Amino acid sequence: MIQHRPIALATRDLCKRYDRPAVDRLDLTIYGGEFYSLLGPNGAGKTTTLRMVAGLLRPDAGSVAIDGIDALADPVAAKQITAWLSDEPMIYDRLTPFEYLEFVAGLWRIDAADAERSANELLDWLGLAPHAHERCEGFSKGMRQKVALAGALVHDPKLIILDEPLTGLDAGSARQVKNVLKERVRAGGTVIMTTHILEVAERMADRIGVIAHGRLIAEGTLDELRLMAGKETDKAGSLEDTFLTLVGDAPAVIAE
Amino acid sequence: MSPPATLVWLASHELRLSWRDWLSLMTAGRRHRARTATIALIVFAAFMHLLAWSMVGPYAKAATDKATLVVMTGCLLLSWSLLLSQAMESVTRAFYTRSDLDLILASPASPRKVFSVRIGRIAGSVALIAMLLASPFINVLAFIGGARWLAAYGVVAAMGAVAAAFAVALTVALFRLIGPKRTRLIAQIVAAVIGAAFVIGLQIAAILSYGSLSRFAPLQSGWLIARAPGVDSFVWWPARAVLGDAGALVVVAAMSLAILGLAIAAFSVRFGEHATAAAGVSSTVVRQRRSAGFRRRSPGGVLRHKEWTLLIRDPWLVSQTLMQILYLLPPALMLWLSFRESGAALAVVVPVVVMAAGQLAGGLAWLSISGEDAPDLVATAPITARRVIWAKVEAVIGSIAFVFAPLVAALAFASPIAAGVCGLGVLIAAASATHIQLCFRVQAKRSQFRRRQTSSRVATFAEAFSSIGWAGASALAAGGSWLALLPALIALGVLTGVRVIAPRS
């Protein structure tokens, strides 16, 4: 059973407030080797949660533990085993993918020979090898996202945090990204991902968490969520039906 | 209201965009700052009028003699070279900013009309900026010397129109000669060189002939005045127009409009074609030389290496650094001459070098510290924020050392003490500018560099005053004066003030 695996990520009573509570006493437990999808309407607190886990935002209260490391007390150690990828690929236009990956590997203190081997593998898998020595400035959104994903994976992180990584990608690029992520999970990595593409969550996630108003309102496998929604509505259906039933009383609020 | 897609309709659209762009530039995109920006503009205008009073007040009663016409024409040429540089930058920006190009070209509006209006807009904005900058001088001259000086506004506007026409012609010529990919960088460099070349040329002439850095010295020389054409020559029409000759003003205005009209007629269609070609430049491939493989570097080392790589590959920075180096040519020449003859002129060289270092460091520091294109990547890396900042500061100081070390080394041949003071001044001025950028750091894209000065005017002024302070202190210290402490204390006061008022991050 998945629950017997070590805990890759645990948040307890996690809180963040702007004008209103963005994340409200959130408890999340994600196990090693698990693909976890976090769903919710706009403004539900998904991105804020992930940014706090990645160390980009300081929570107002609560704790974050990554692979047993207290990420608030020892952020450097936690970051060493974590990767973050947002929907807007943040890369350097005037570096080539090869130079970008060398930069990332250096930041994570990865042995140069190992990092180069890993970088070449990733560039190959993601179809970027022919463009490895071209500057990123002329790349399409999909290519840029793939470069950013390669950067997130080149240091072999235990926990991969992805915020809408498939936004704006064409079908081919999205397939490549999904395949690489599946491969990582098969190899024992843990993925937590937000997405608005419910079909992706349905196909890829081991478990799905549904968040609204900063709180986890439902969590489980797709069947478990269907069951929960079915109890309320007396019918079962696709993840879209299930999701809309679960968040039906939690309408979209202002953008995160 | 005029019918859609006519010249007037398109012009009003461009005018509205220009106005909003200017307003956004003044208020850094925050509308509630409009009142503060207005007050700051009024204070600035008052200060500039006082400055103009001290600079041009004595010349308000100038007669239309040959000596005056020579100096006036020289000043007009100096200003025009700067206007041409500014216009070239505007034209290059218009070519390479995609913005509404797709919408325009997909619409049934005539591209010739659209781009005619766009060239007109560039001419208008260049002329308007020139008139605004010249206004304190013209107003002071008119106040003291009479309304005849107001004709200078017309001449300045005409100069703006001609500058825009030449800028369009030059940039289109560059497109045809070297293609859209290379034009971007080359046009920026040409603009920088044009802006600096005439000023520097006059300074070099002044140094070689009179041993002075004043660019006006050659214009006031008896040799030049004796060889200049007679007062009735057409060469002096622009100068005569400035001095209030209505006939000359009409001719100058008519000629400038004719030149602009010709440029619009000749280039509006090509302008559209080249703008379309330039829009495709971002998708062209720039291949870098294949590196030998990943190198073993510390996190600080990779950050420094990344900053240096990005700085070297930044076309704007290449042109700006080139301009800084060009501006250093006159003091370098003076240094060489004084080394040959005596060491008396070193006091002029040291502050120029220190000032240039401070200014260049401010730009580099913004690019490194605020202009981080992958802030999330760096923030999620297992390295402390302090180490990241240090690596970036090291990259800036290292770059400054690389640019200025040869000059300081050359100075050491003339005077080791002056070289020591200059080297120290360069480092302190660069460190101070970097410190100011650190205090006012914001998260921005490198491409937003042009707007960095509007995001924090306090930082901009602090950077300038700190550089001036350290330049003054270095000059006095190189001369062995204890008075050097005074500007140094002022510069330290500026840095302390910055720490106090800087926003807490």
A84 and B375: CB-CB below 8 Å? no
Q: DSSP letters of A23-63?
A: EEEEEEEEETT-EEEEE--TTSSHHHHHHHHTTSS--SEEE
Lowest-confidence pick of A131-135, B112-116, B149-153, B171-175: B112-116
Does position A231 have pLDDT exceeding 60, yes or no?
A: no
Question: Which residue from B284, B298, B380 is facing A84, i.e. has the nearest CB?
Answer: B380
Q: Is A156 on the interface with B (CB under 8 A)?
A: no
How distant is the Cα of A1 from the closest Cα of chain B, in angstroms?
A: 32
Residues of B with CB under 8 A from a CB of A: 282-291, 293-299, 301-303, 305-306, 309-310, 313-314, 373-384
A92 and B379: CB-CB below 8 Å? no
Q: Residue A93: closest CA among chain B residues belongs to which residue?
A: B373
Tell me the one-letter amino acid at A21. Answer: P
B284 and A138: CB-CB below 8 Å? yes
Residue A142 phi/psi, 5-degree rounding, is -65, -45
Tokens 């900042």 correspond to B389
A92 and B374: CB-CB below 8 Å? yes
Question: Minimal CA–CA distance to B400: which of B372, B374, B420, B424?
Answer: B424
Residue A194 phi/psi, 5-degree rounding, is -95, 150
Full-model pTM: 0.74
Q: What number is the average pLDDT over the span B477-484? A: 86
Does position B204 have pLDDT exceeding 90, yes or no?
A: no
DSSP type of residue B142 = H
User: How many angstroms separate the CA atoms of A25 and A13, rounded?
Assistant: 4
Q: What number is the average pLDDT over the span B179-193? A: 77
DSSP type of residue B444 = -
Phi-psi region of A168 (alpha: psi -120 to 50; beta: other; left: phi over 0): left
Chain A interface test: which of B288, B294, B310 (most A C-beta within 10 Å): B294
B285 and A138: CB-CB below 8 Å? yes
Does position B389 have pLDDT exceeding 50, yes or no?
A: yes
- Residue B40 CB partners (closer than 8 Å, separation 6+): B457
Among A147-156, B443-452, B494-503, top mean pLDDT goes to A147-156
Q: Which helix (H) or strand (E) holds B47?
A: helix B34-56
B380 and A83: CB-CB below 8 Å? yes
Residue B74 phi/psi, 5-degree rounding, is -60, -45
How distant is the Cα of B121 from the closest Cα of chain A, in angstroms?
A: 29
Q: How confident is the model at residue B249 (pLDDT cuts 50, 70, 90)?
A: very high
Q: Report chain B's terminal Cα–Cα distance, integer Å.
A: 49
B383 and A76: CB-CB below 8 Å? yes
Question: Minimal CA–CA distance to A116: which of A101, A130, A126, A131?
Answer: A101
E strands in B230-274: none
Q: DSSP letters of A160-225?
A: EEEESTTTT--HHHHHHHHHHHHHHHHTT-EEEEE-S-HHHHHHH-SEEEEEETTEEEEEE-HHHH
Residue A106: helix, strand or coil by DSSP?
helix
Provide the pLDDT for residue B209: 60
Q: Cβ–Cβ contacts within 10 Å for residue A47, how many?
A: 23
B382 and A105: CB-CB below 8 Å? no
Question: Which residue from A93, A113, A115 is facing B373, i.e. has the nearest CB?
Answer: A93
Residues B423, B482: contact at Cβ < 8 Å?
A: no
Residue B291 phi/psi, 5-degree rounding, is -80, 160
Residue A126: helix, strand or coil by DSSP?
coil
User: How many angstroms separate the CA atoms of A229 and A236, rounded?
Assistant: 7
Q: Residue B314: closest CA among chain A residues belongs to which residue?
A: A94
What is the greatest pairwise CA distance in chain A? 57
Residue A8: helix, strand or coil by DSSP?
strand
- Residue B168 CB partners (closer than 8 Å, separation 6+): B91, B119, B122, B263, B267, B271
Provide the pLDDT for residue B342: 54
Tell me the one-letter amino acid at B288. Answer: Q
User: How many angstroms separate the CA atoms of A95 and B446, rounded?
Assistant: 13
Question: Which residue from B286, B305, B380 is facing A137, i.e. has the nearest CB?
Answer: B286
User: How many angstroms separate the CA atoms of B468 and B486, rounded?
Assistant: 12
Question: Minimal CA–CA distance to B317: which of B401, B222, B201, B403?
Answer: B403
Q: Is A122 on the interface with B (CB under 8 A)?
A: no
Q: How confident is the model at residue A237 (pLDDT cuts 50, 70, 90)?
A: low
Does position B394 have pLDDT exceeding 70, yes or no?
A: yes
Residue range A126-176, pLDDT digits in tens? 889 999 999 998 888 889 999 999 999 999 999 999 999 888 778 888 888
Residues B357, B422: contact at Cβ < 8 Å?
A: no
Lowest-confidence pick of A161-165, A252-256, B362-366, B397-401: A252-256
Residue range B287-328, pLDDT digits in tens? 777 777 888 889 999 999 999 999 888 776 776 666 666 766
- Residue B356 CB partners (closer than 8 Å, separation 6+): B324, B327, B328, B404
Q: What number is the average pLDDT over the span B212-222? A: 64
User: How many angstroms separate the CA atoms of A21 and A18, rounded?
Assistant: 6
Q: ipTM for the complex?
A: 0.85
How distant is the Cα of A96 from the closest Cα of chain B, in angstroms?
A: 7
Burial of A12 (0-12, 13-18, 19+ CB in 10 A): middle
Q: Which helix (H) or strand (E) holds B19?
A: helix B7-27
Tell me the one-letter amino acid at B110. Answer: S
Does position A91 have pLDDT exceeding 70, yes or no?
A: yes
**How many residue contacts between A and B have a Cβ separation below 8 Å?**
108
User: How many angstroms separate the CA atoms of B361 and B392, rounded?
Assistant: 12
Does position A256 have pLDDT exceeding 50, yes or no?
A: no
Provide the pLDDT for residue A253: 40
Tokens representing B8? 């007037």
B302 and A137: CB-CB below 8 Å? no
How distant is the Cα of A116 from the closest Cα of chain B, in angstroms?
A: 6
Does position B422 have pLDDT exceeding 90, yes or no?
A: yes
Lowest-confidence pick of A218-222, B202-206, B271-275: B202-206
How distant is the Cα of A106 from the closest Cα of chain B, in angstroms?
A: 5
Question: Which residue from A79, A116, A148 is facing B382, i.e. has the nearest CB?
Answer: A79
Does position A14 have pLDDT exceeding 60, yes or no?
A: yes
Tokens 């990595």 correspond to A189
Q: Residue A52: closest CA among chain B residues belongs to which residue?
A: B380
Lowest-confidence pick of A37-51, B85-99, B123-137, B360-374: B85-99
How are strands ordered across the β-sheet holding A215-220? Answer: A82-85, A159-163, A190-194, A35-39, A207-212, A215-220
Burial of B178-191, coded b for 16+ CB within 10 Å and e otherwise, reads: eebeebbbbbbbbb
B377 and A90: CB-CB below 8 Å? yes
Tell me the one-letter amino acid at B181. Answer: K
Does position B228 have pLDDT exceeding 90, yes or no?
A: no
How distant is the Cα of A78 from the closest Cα of chain B, in angstroms?
A: 8
Lowest-confidence pick of A126-140, B152-166, B170-184, B324-338: B324-338
Q: How confident is the model at residue B211 (pLDDT cuts 50, 70, 90)?
A: low
Q: Residue B310: closest CA among chain A residues belongs to which residue?
A: A94
Q: How confident is the model at residue A110 (pLDDT cuts 50, 70, 90)?
A: very high
Tokens representing B442? 């914001």
B294 and A113: CB-CB below 8 Å? yes
Provide the pLDDT for residue B378: 92
Tokens representing B251? 């001719």
A79 and B380: CB-CB below 8 Å? yes
Question: Which residue from B291, B302, B380 is facing A106, i.e. has the nearest CB?
Answer: B302
Residues B254, B155: contact at Cβ < 8 Å?
A: no
DSSP type of residue B287 = B
E strands in B75-201: none
B288 and A96: CB-CB below 8 Å? yes
Question: Minimal CA–CA distance to B10: which of B117, B120, B123, B122?
Answer: B117
Question: Minimal CA–CA distance to B218: which of B230, B205, B228?
Answer: B205
User: How many angstroms separate the CA atoms of B233 and B246, rounded?
Assistant: 16
Tokens 């240090």 correspond to B390
Does position B410 have pLDDT exceeding 80, yes or no?
A: yes
State the average pLDDT for chain A. 87
Q: Is A135 on the interface with B (CB under 8 A)?
A: yes
Does position A5 have pLDDT exceeding 60, yes or no?
A: yes
A112 and B294: CB-CB below 8 Å? yes
Q: How confident is the model at residue B452 (pLDDT cuts 50, 70, 90)?
A: low
Which positions in chain A touch B381 (Cβ < 8 Å)?
79, 104, 107-108
